[in-house]
Chains A and B, each alone.
Chain A
Amino acid sequence: MNPLAKIGATFLAFLAGTGRLVMFAGAVVGQAVTPTYYPRHILKQFIEIGYYSLPVVGLTTLFSGMVLALQSYTGFARFSAEGAVATVVVLSMTRELGPVLAGLMVAGRVGAAMAAEIGTMRVTEQIDALTTLSTNPFKYLIAPRVIAATVSLPILVLIGDIVGVFGGYVVSTYKLGFNPSNYIQSTVEYLEFMDVVSGLVKAAVFGFIIALMGCYHGYNSGRGAQGVGAATTNAVVSASILILVANYFLTEVFFSGGG
């Protein structure tokens, strides 16, 4: 085959896929904001996504905060700037590491589970069954997951931020010999409201991406166990990539003013 034709075909397939995803996202948002709502389902997903992700997010951010303190200390010691450790830890956690790490971990945990569950429902005709029972699968299955993920990720990240900063504090005071009250003071000194808020907005976007990709790939799952397996992998990979891409552009939007 002509290599140009191959590139062209791949590009067209990419455009078509993007178009389908955007239309899917539009349908999901449309169904999520109009009645009927399923509060029981939203609550159930909220527990599933938010509550059960706490250990994963907590552990990840704890050790990241600890390693941040250690790394920046050894690095900054070269030019006698050890005093900046607290600031580096809190800014990195709130702006970047909190949302990105939580997003990636939850994508692995929750995105995969969503794709597997909805994919299985597709393959075993449960989604068709919903439709024949006059229930819109977008409202019943997808909207609650997207709403719950978009709301619970910022909460998870806020907790993760605190845990991460705490990890940095523990390492700095017990291992590196910082004075506890000085450390806390420099943690809050240069921290701005916007640092935290930008991280939480990112988290909400990541939550939306995770649920969207999990549901999209599950809903369009191929036939059989193989189809569900592929849907699960695709959900995690695409959500992770989209999170990193979105992270760059959101950072640019928030801090392009030199903040």
Chain B
Amino acid sequence: MTEGTPKIALQNVHKSFGAKHVLRGVDLQVAKGESLVIIGGSGTGKSVALKCVLGLMEPEQGSIKIDGEEMVGVSRSERADAMRKFGMLFQGGALFDSLPVWENVAFGLIQSQGMPRRDARDAAREKLRQVGLGEEVIDLHPAELSGGMQKRVALARAIATAPEIIFFDEPTTGLDPIMADVINDLIVNCVRELGATALSITHDMASARKIADRIAMIHQGKIIWQGSVSEMENSGSPYVDQFIHGRAEGPIKMAIQDH
């Protein structure tokens, strides 16, 4: 990999569901070690874009490169290699509700790295400590935890395998503002500690300002603006202005139905 190769590069990515054209040519690059946040309204295709990068969905058109290597249309095993570099925090946590907390956190260590269960349990304890959870939760099941604790466990699981790239899908949605800020801090710390590249999506501007090096705005299936957090305040884009100030009036017309 040469110095200038972006860690993640999307080019002209299209994705539809039936007649619904969700992504309409997304172009985006994330440099190594950078934290990019995609902002945009609900139902604009942020999660779909992330799932295309993760390989959970296949775009109809376009190119997605990880470390300069094409990911669209490659075999399952090639994709599995790239997957080992990834950690993902899902919007709803997506914790395995049949497994105790520690096995959730250690899942990647046991299944993909083959770590013995005893060691994995110790590793899980350490990861949980990093996200501020103590010994008492380790044998509980996810359903027994509060929303904020579930998010922490999900975060611990996402960082457990020390991934090179971490994806965050609306990490603060559904949390109270204080817990949201705690999670934001944890994300910033974890990403910095791992030296990882981070790609996040959110519609929570407080969160975006806190965790982003750079921000990109998605609207109608395209990236319509990108720049640093300070540039965002004076972007000159009426779309960005409307969004970051949360105004009902402006060029963005919210669909009332769906989502």
Binding site for B on A (CB under 8 A): 121, 124-126, 128-135, 140
Contact = CB atoms under 8 A, between A and B. Distances in A.
A220 to B, nearest CB: 14
Nearest to B161: A133
A117 to B, nearest CB: 8
B84 A125 contact: no
B239 interface: no
B96 A129 contact: yes
Contact of B56 (A121, A124, A132, A135): A132
B79 to A, nearest CB: 9
B99 to A, nearest CB: 10
B83 A125 contact: no
A135 B95 CA distance: 14
Interface in B56-96: 56, 80, 83-84, 86-88, 90-92, 94-96
Contact of B80 (A126, A134, A140): A134
A133 B111 CA distance: 8
B94 A133 contact: no
Contact of A134 (B84, B90, B92, B157): B84
Give the interface centre of A128, A129, A130, A135 by most chain B CB atoms within 10 Å: A129
Nearest to A135: B111
Given A126-B96, A128-B51, A128-B56, A133 B107 contact: yes
Contacts of A132: 54, 56, 83, 86-88
Interface residues on B, range: 20 to 34
B94 A134 contact: no
B112 A128 contact: no
B108 interface: yes
A144 to B, nearest CB: 12
Contacts of A128: 51, 54, 56, 88, 90, 94
A124 B92 contact: yes
Interface of B: 51, 54-56, 80, 83-84, 86-88, 90-92, 94-97, 107-108, 111-112, 157, 161
B83 A131 contact: yes
A131 B108 contact: no
Given A131-B56, A133-B107, A134-B111, A126 B84 contact: no
A135 B94 contact: no
Contact of B112 (A121, A125, A126, A133): A133
Given A126-B96, A128-B51, A129-B96, A135 B90 contact: no
Given A124-B97, A126-B95, 10 more contacts: A121-B96, A126-B96, A128-B88, A128-B90, A132-B54, A132-B83, A134-B84, A134-B108, A134-B111, A135-B111
A43 B51 CA distance: 33
B176 to A, nearest CB: 22
B232 to A, nearest CB: 29
7 contacts: A126-B96, A128-B94, A129-B96, A132-B56, A132-B86, A133-B108, A140-B111
Contacts of A124: 92, 94, 97
B94 A129 contact: yes
Give the interface centre of B55, B87, B90 by most chain A CB atoms within 10 Å: B90
A55 B227 CA distance: 65
A11 to B, nearest CB: 21
A135 B80 CA distance: 9
Contacts of B92: 124-125
A33 to B, nearest CB: 17
Contacts of B96: 121, 126, 129-130
